[in-house]
Amino acid sequence: MSDAPAIPAKRRVGVLISGGGSNMAALIAAARDPAYPAEIVCVVSNVASAGGLAKAAAAGVPTAIVDHKAFPDRESFERAVVATLEGHDVEIVALAGFMRLLTPWFIERWHDRLINIHPALLPSYKGLHTHARALADGVKIGGCTVHFVRPEMDVGPIIVQAAVPVADGDTPETLAARVLVQEHRIYPLALARVASGAARVVADVEGRERVVTDHPASRDGCLVAPA
């Protein structure tokens, strides 16, 4: 018998994408670290031409296409996605630019094991075109959020957020590019905390949920914009 400390098993993660997959690539890169508590065991796209599929394949991660257009309804599409994920013994599902609304059936199937990244500081700016709407409102701080998924769109207990100052002259594209850099930073962080059990959902007496972690935020930091 070896005296070497046992390495805890990595949680098996499936990533759902519809597009370029830069967040997916960030998760795959982070999971290469032997100490990372999760491994990316499959990438599923509902879009056959999604650029992320080639990136995943190049990284040696199995890929699958489940084209929603090939199914008569949302439920049969989702059953096919679940079958693919189950075929890889997936325990946690990460949505990374996955552009289909999911039914409560799918979401509850992965309760507290389904996470999403959104390019805004939720609960502000749910939905699409977040950066254009934030700029139109003149906000000085934008950002991104990783959260557990609940049946309402872009709603669910927040795991990690990053704040990004808005610059004079920002366009939706320039702001999106700076926020994306932070997305690639917080998504691996959030997944690690979910996979390790450090991030847990708790509810107050009124049933309102939030996430507690074993990683308290620094208490003296703040972001002022413009500084």
- The answer to whether 164 and 175 have CB atoms below 8 angstroms apart is yes
**Comparison of 177 and 212: residue with beta carbon closer to ligand GRF:** 177
**Comparison of 79 and 189: residue with beta carbon closer to ligand GRF:** 189
Q: Is 151 an interacting residue with respect to ligand GRF (CB under 6 A)?
A: no
- The answer to whether 213 and 199 have CB atoms below 8 angstroms apart is yes
What DSSP string describes 151-210?
SSTT-S-EEEEEEEEPPTT--HHHHHHHHHHHHHHHHHHHHHHHHHT-SEEEE-TT--EE
**Comparison of 19 and 62: residue with beta carbon closer to ligand GRF:** 19
**Residue 137 to residue 14: CA distance in whole angstroms:** 36
**How many CA atoms within 13 Å lie on the side-chain side of 204?**
4
**Comparison of 22 and 63: residue with beta carbon closer to ligand GRF:** 22
Q: Is 183 an interacting residue with respect to ligand GRF (CB under 6 A)?
A: yes
**Comparison of 37 and 119: residue with beta carbon closer to ligand GRF:** 119
Q: Which alpha helices (H) appear in the chain, and where do they start and end?
A: 22-31, 51-58, 74-87, 104-109, 130-137, 172-196
**Residue 157 to residue 146: CA distance in whole angstroms:** 9
Q: Give me the residue whose beta carbon is nearest to ligand GRF.
A: 97
Q: How far is the CB of 206 from ligand GRF (least distance, A)?
A: 29
Active-site choice (68, 88, 111, 118): 118
Q: Is 117 an interacting residue with respect to ligand GRF (CB under 6 A)?
A: yes
Q: How far is the CB of 133 from ligand GRF (least distance, A)?
A: 14
- Which one among 118, 147, 150, 193 touches ligand GRF, defined by CB under 6 A? 118
Query: What residues are paired with 44 via a beta bridge?
Result: 16, 64
Q: Is 154 an interacting residue with respect to ligand GRF (CB under 6 A)?
A: no
From residue 91, give the alpha-carbon distance in Å to each of 31, 77, 158.
Answer: 15, 19, 20
For residues 9-68, which are near ligand GRF according to CB under 6 A?
17, 19-24, 52
Q: Is 184 a catalytic residue?
A: no
Q: How far is the CB of 21 from ligand GRF (least distance, A)?
A: 5
**Residue 174 to residue 130: CA distance in whole angstroms:** 13
Question: By the criterion CB under 6 A, which residues form the site for ligand GRF?
Answer: 17, 19-24, 52, 96-97, 117-119, 180, 183
Known catalytic residues?
118
